[in-house]
Chain A
Amino acid sequence: GAVVSQHPSWVICKSGTSVKIECRSLDFQATTMFWYRQFPKQSLMLMATSNEGSKATYEQGVEKDKFLINHASLTLSTLTVTSAHPEDSSFYICSARVRSGTYEQYFGPGTRLTVT
Chain B
Amino acid sequence: GEDVEQSLFLSVREGDSSVINCTYTDSSSTYLYWYKQEPGAGLQLLTYIFSNMDMKQDQRLTVLLNKKDKHLSLRIADTQTGDSAIYFCAVLDNYGQNFVFGPGTRLSVLP
Chain A interface (Cβ < 8 Å from any Cβ of B): 1, 4, 6, 34, 42-44, 46, 49, 93, 95, 103-110, 112
Q: Kindly list 17 other residue pairs between chains A and B, CB separation below 8 angstroms, not including A34-B98, A44-B43.
A: A4-B42, A43-B101, A43-B102, A44-B88, A46-B99, A49-B98, A95-B99, A103-B48, A105-B33, A105-B99, A106-B45, A107-B42, A107-B45, A109-B42, A110-B40, A110-B41, A112-B40
Q: Which residues of B contact A (CB under 8 A)?
A: 30-31, 33, 35, 40-45, 48, 88, 92, 96-99, 101-104
Residues of B within 8 A of A106 (CB): 45
Please give me the residue from chain B that is nearest to A59 by CB atom: B98
Across chains A and B, the number of contacting residue pairs, with CB separation under 8 Å, is: 46
Residue contact B101 to A109, C-beta cutoff 8 Å: no
Partner of A93, one of B33, B43, B92, B104: B43
Residues on B with C-beta less than 8 A from A43 are: 88, 101-104
Q: List 17 A-B contacts (CB under 8 A).
A: A42-B103, A43-B103, A44-B43, A46-B99, A49-B97, A93-B42, A93-B43, A95-B43, A104-B45, A105-B33, A105-B45, A106-B45, A107-B35, A107-B44, A109-B42, A110-B40, A110-B41
